[in-house]
Structure 1
Amino acid sequence: MKRHGNAYKQRGSFIVESVWLWPVLVMLTLGVIQMGFLYNAKATMNNATFQAAREGSIKHADKGAMEKRLAYAMAPLYIKKSKDIVELASKRVYLQALMSVPLAKIGKIDIISPSKEIYRKFEKTQYYLDNKGRERRIKQMPNDNLNVRSASENFVKMASGSVKINIQDANLLKIRGYWCYEMIVPFVNYVIYKTYSALPGKKNPHWSACRALSVVNDSYYLPVSSTSVVRMQTPIRW
């Protein structure tokens, strides 16, 4: 009877331990799944930011064109069937519209370099041909024949202080892309969101937009960002 009594006690303790252990294991499993989705979102964001930078390099650093390309490149995250062209096109239009929502933009592009001060230092009045073949004048930063242009550096006064830069380096387009990724795994999305919002110190610059989206859509969004640098293929026009 004593052995049977010990066996009953061991079985009872196992049940009690399982009651405490299973919720922890479930949360860990859900957390791993959500972090996998976040990693996929970050990898997609890296590629989307590079595509946006490439778009800007051939379109005079047009911010609108870069944000449109960012929305197009992020659309595959939101479709259920990878070969559904109609759904992909509709998601692209939908995400592009969300990028224009005041105070709650799902994504945006910030041009880090060249700054307005750098542009003004190197801008010149140049000529180009319009669509009808007529000669036009425009102010822009030269992009032609950079290999034979003077590499002498000029001082540029910026908010952070004076920097030395030449025309070749000024034609490097550096952008940072931001995106609000919606976490979809239940329970852990709330835990991650609340943990991030409670962290002290400076947060991602796009956090306020993600927080607004979370309130509006009754969901949980986390900001992801990426940086890309490309050489301009067309003159920069501010």
Structure 2
Amino acid sequence: MKVLRAVQRGGAVVETLIVMPVLVMVIAGAFQAAMIYEAKATLNHATLQAARSGAVNNANINSIRAGLARGLLPLYSPDSSLGGLTGTLTTKVLPDVATSSIRILNPTTEAFQDFGVNVHGVREIPNDRLYLRPTTTGSRSGLTIQDANLLRVQVRYGYELKVPVVRWVFRLGLRLTRPDLDNVERAMVAANRLPMIATATVRMQTPARQNSAVMSRNNLPGAGDLPRQGV
């Protein structure tokens, strides 16, 4: 009996040694997944803040980036003091935002061609008295001037995976399931960051001015499904 009990105790130890690493990985994975969910919700809100900031500042890319940084600040657990908030924003959030990809999906380059006017050497889309303006569709953009006054911002942000070992599993999973990752996203994955995408649309409150973040209609996500327009 004593021998049998010793064998049973030894078997229990072996089973525990086998099960414990798996259990730890499952718990750690669930913890990391919860953090990712929180980060995505924060990014959605931050992207909306970025779009709102751009809407009142002529779709200026620096204003959009600043709005995004303010929205992402809660992810970085800053000190509640003003100095702590400012320090975290400057030393952590803004450098991460600088590596993010911010694209203006609307208005497009073609919308500026259809409706833009030159003001002090900058091309901008009029924003005043839209209800009185024609609703004619632009030949290049496929938009009306009212539609061209909607600011649609897309953000690709690399969220830092924080749980050791689990982040390696996430990276491996991304490489196996997402062979279509572009260079920006591959760089994020290589830096232990999970690429996240969020989009927000708001009504322009000032005339949108053309800048380097404005996308061409042919380069928009799903551009192959868009109807062709005359030039």
> Taking structure 2 as the reference length, what is the TM-score of the superposition?
0.81
More helix by share: 2
**Are 2:188 and 1:210 aligned?**
yes
**Given the alignment, which residue of 126, 132, 143 partners 2:127?**
143
Show the counterpart of 1:153. Answer: 137
State the number of aligned residues: 209
CA distance in 2, matches of 1:205, 1:57: 29
Distance apart, 1:54 and its partner CA: 0.3
Are the aligned partners of 1:114 and 1:172 in contact in 2 as well (CA < 8 Å)?
yes
CA distance in 2, matches of 1:166, 1:193: 43
CA deviation vs aligned residue, 1:107-165 (integer Å, no higher than 9, x gap): 23111111111111101256xxxxxxxxx786421111112221122221xxxxxx522
Show the counterpart of 1:87. Answer: 84
CA deviation vs aligned residue, 1:184-212 (integer Å, no higher than 9, x gap): 11111122123223334312663134146
CA distance in 1, matches of 2:3, 2:186: 60
Give the structure with higher Rg (CA). Answer: 1
How do residues 52-67 of structure 1 correspond to structure 2 at under 5 angstroms? 52-67=50-65
CA distance in 2, matches of 1:195, 1:139: 44
In terms of mean alpha carbon deviation, does 137-146 or 23-32 score higher? 137-146
Q: Cα gap change, 1:96/1:24 in structure 2, threshold over 3 Å: closer, same or farther?
A: same
**Are 2:142 and 1:164 aligned?**
yes
Q: Give the SS at the match of 2:16.
A: helix
Show the counterpart of 2:101. Answer: 108
CA distance in 2, matches of 1:137, 1:181: 38
CA distance in 2, matches of 1:142, 1:61: 13
Are the aligned partners of 1:79 and 1:87 in contact in 2 as well (CA < 8 Å)?
no
More strand by share: 1
Show the counterpart of 2:228. Answer: none
Q: Cα gap change, 1:152/1:30 in structure 2, threshold over 3 Å: closer, same or farther?
A: same
Are the aligned partners of 1:48 and 1:70 in contact in 2 as well (CA < 8 Å)?
yes
Distance apart, 1:77 and its partner CA: 1.2
Query: Please, which runs of 5 or more residues in structure 1 have no aligned partner?
Result: 127-135, 157-162, 215-219
Q: Give the SS at the match of 1:184.
A: coil
In terms of mean alpha carbon deviation, does 84-93 or 17-26 score higher? 84-93
**Given the alignment, which residue of 177, 199, 217 partners 1:227?**
199
Show the counterpart of 1:188. Answer: 166
Distance apart, 1:14 and its partner CA: 2.0
Distance apart, 1:174 and its partner CA: 0.7
Q: CA-atom RMSD, angstroms?
A: 2.2
Are the aligned partners of 2:97 and 2:157 in contact in 1 as well (CA < 8 Å)?
no
Q: Give the SS at the match of 1:147.
A: helix
Q: Percent identity?
A: 33
